[in-house]
Chain A
């Protein structure tokens, strides 16, 4: 078995790389695939928090690299899904603790036993980024419909294209707010795709549930009612080769829908 190594990157910070990694990883594992998530954000790790595995980490990526433990010892199994494993980053070191070659070796070793190896990339284009993309053959570029994030994504795509090992890269647009797009206050999905001229793999709507799910340490794909969760599930299906139409994330627009929405809000209040 040779697993696919997919790096999740963005260039700009705070666009949702780690959230995307945690959710796609969980969704893939739920569908039965064997998944490893690698956090390469050494010194600023967060992926363990999002998965709620912080208290289980004994060994980290750095321990593996420095041969203080075996690779299998450092894989932290998810609480709910035995198909999902986390290779956490060390919090007490910095990016220079792992080199590109070392991560590549680890990815190659993991490819033998796992279907998907998702590498959560740190922000920036320096050493940490170069390390994270070293083992990968595919990439998912996360961006938000903001000019600064799109610019940074463009830069990242350029760097990925220059890298021979990266065979394909796809765009994931995060935190989309349809009502803002409608009011012409936000770039539309089409605008972003036009600017970046890149294939789309998912559109994730803005969801306040993300905040609670992050704080609780539970990925939002486990929440059946969440729009963002559904969108992430669809991304996972597309990664596995299925053709899934993009979610209609538009706010309700008909007159009756508006009435319905009005009463919904009233009822909640």
Chain B
């Protein structure tokens, strides 16, 4: 706890606290100090989330010692909002370097690093030139020089990353932003508990969906195309993103927090997330990815409109059938036991198309 006193102001640094309860506890012990009385208090709250009523009680606590809370620094958006509502000035001149901040896009960091690399080269060139100009320089000196330039570049790197980190959120690339907007738009639907019974109504939509791609009748061959092949994740080379990948990223996502039981159908034009198990006899059909946070035991059809880059992932991938775009893989007969496998250990797996074959990758091998 650092209490710095300036002329008429008193800084209370509570940035190390983690919960609102900590803040109040620490604050009440600070207030016992007479130095805090009759001052303008500057409060550093770090990343603690406080709502308006909590902040109001803190303010009245400070008012109780004839001081006033004028300035507040906080990283938390909620606290900032609450402070604004109470007319407290927010001053984040000294943000804590270790506090987590929003990183707009990883590419920015990559470019930043690239730039510093070029700077480093320049610096090396300079040192080489310096060497050439005066041969009297000893090796030790030149190496020292190198170390110095390295340090300098490190510094530049840090500074640029920091700049990137401090960039306001508004500068998020439009592409991602529109994707996020779509997500948020859709989350409104997701807030309402969706009963699966109501999805039967949208079955018309499903049929239409298949009509559009002329898919399910002809495209899915009557006999199996693919058989489950298990490969560790790291054996697969990273593929470049194609338009199909981006299409999936931009699709809206719907999530269901329930057990999907036999006979129930989840059918959505977008990505589907199921938080719960999918029992055998259930069907999940999505035009994008399917993610199951639980045991997937039924039928899953990802990329139902024909997107071959769609993927199916689950904590326990035990599906009777996996369908991606027009491909279909069935569970091997040897694993065809009727009992639902309830295990305490999960092996997260992901199914996708690789060389015109549905393969299943283990995701936890590294």
* Contact surface of A with B, Cβ cutoff 8 Å: 43-44, 49, 52, 54-59, 63, 68-69, 73, 79, 91-92, 215-217
Contact = CB atoms under 8 A, between A and B. Distances in A.
Contact of B220 (A49, A56, A58): A58
Contact of A69 (B217, B262, B264, B337): B217
Contacts of A54: 280, 320, 336
Interface stretch (B36-44, B135-143, B325-333): B325-333
Contacts of A69: 216-217
Contact of A68 (B210, B222, B224): B210
B331 A55 contact: yes
A55 B217 contact: no
Contacts of B210: 68
Contacts of B321: 55, 57-58
B224 A56 contact: yes
A58 B336 CA distance: 16
Contacts of B72: none
| Residue in A44, A49, A52, A58 whose Cβ sees the most chain B Cβ within 10 Å | A58
Contacts of B333: 52, 55, 79
Contacts of B320: 54-55
13 contacts: A43-B263, A54-B320, A55-B320, A55-B321, A55-B336, A57-B321, A58-B328, A59-B222, A63-B217, A68-B216, A91-B283, A217-B336, A217-B338
Given A58-B328, A69-B217, A91 B262 contact: yes
Contacts of B104: none
B31 to A, nearest CB: 65
A50 to B, nearest CB: 10
A240 B158 CA distance: 87
Contacts of B220: 58
A58 B217 CA distance: 10
A217 B339 CA distance: 12
Given A58-B222, A91-B262, A215-B339, 20 more contacts: A52-B336, A54-B320, A55-B330, A55-B331, A56-B224, A56-B330, A57-B321, A58-B321, A58-B328, A63-B216, A63-B217, A68-B216, A69-B216, A69-B217, A79-B333, A91-B283, A92-B263, A92-B264, A92-B282, A216-B337
B359 interface: no
B179 interface: no
Given A58-B220, A217-B338, A92 B265 contact: yes
B281 interface: yes
A92 B320 CA distance: 15
B302 to A, nearest CB: 16
Interface of B: 210, 216-217, 220, 222, 224, 262-265, 280-283, 320-321, 328, 330-331, 333, 336-339
Contacts of A217: 336, 338
B113 to A, nearest CB: 49
Q: Which 3 A-B pairs have the closest CB atoms?
A: A55-B330, A55-B331, A73-B222
Nearest to A68: B217
Main SS of chain B's interface residues?
A: loop
B219 to A, nearest CB: 11
Contacts, number: 47
Nearest to A69: B217
A215 B264 CA distance: 23
A44 B324 CA distance: 26
A92 B283 contact: yes
Contacts of B224: 56
A43 B216 CA distance: 20
Contacts of B263: 43-44, 91-92
Contacts of A79: 333
| Most chain A Cβ neighbours within 10 Å, of B262, B263, B282 | B263
A55 B330 CA distance: 6
A52 B210 CA distance: 28
Contact of A49 (B283, B330, B338): B338
Contacts of A57: 321
A216 B338 CA distance: 7
Contacts of A73: 217, 222
Contacts of A52: 333, 336
Nearest to B218: A69
A57 B262 CA distance: 15
B363 to A, nearest CB: 23
Contacts of A63: 216-217
Contacts of B280: 54
A193 to B, nearest CB: 35
Nearest to B210: A68
A199 to B, nearest CB: 36
A68 B214 CA distance: 10
A55 B263 CA distance: 15
Contacts of B264: 92
- Most B CB contacts (10 A, CB to CB) among A49, A54, A68, A92 go to A92
A215 B338 contact: yes
Interface centre among A44, A52, A73, A91 (most CB of B within 10 A): A91
A162 B333 CA distance: 44
B284 to A, nearest CB: 11
Nearest to A91: B281
Nearest to B262: A91
A19 to B, nearest CB: 14
A54 B297 CA distance: 12
B324 to A, nearest CB: 14
Contacts of A56: 224, 330
A69 B331 CA distance: 23
A215 to B, nearest CB: 5
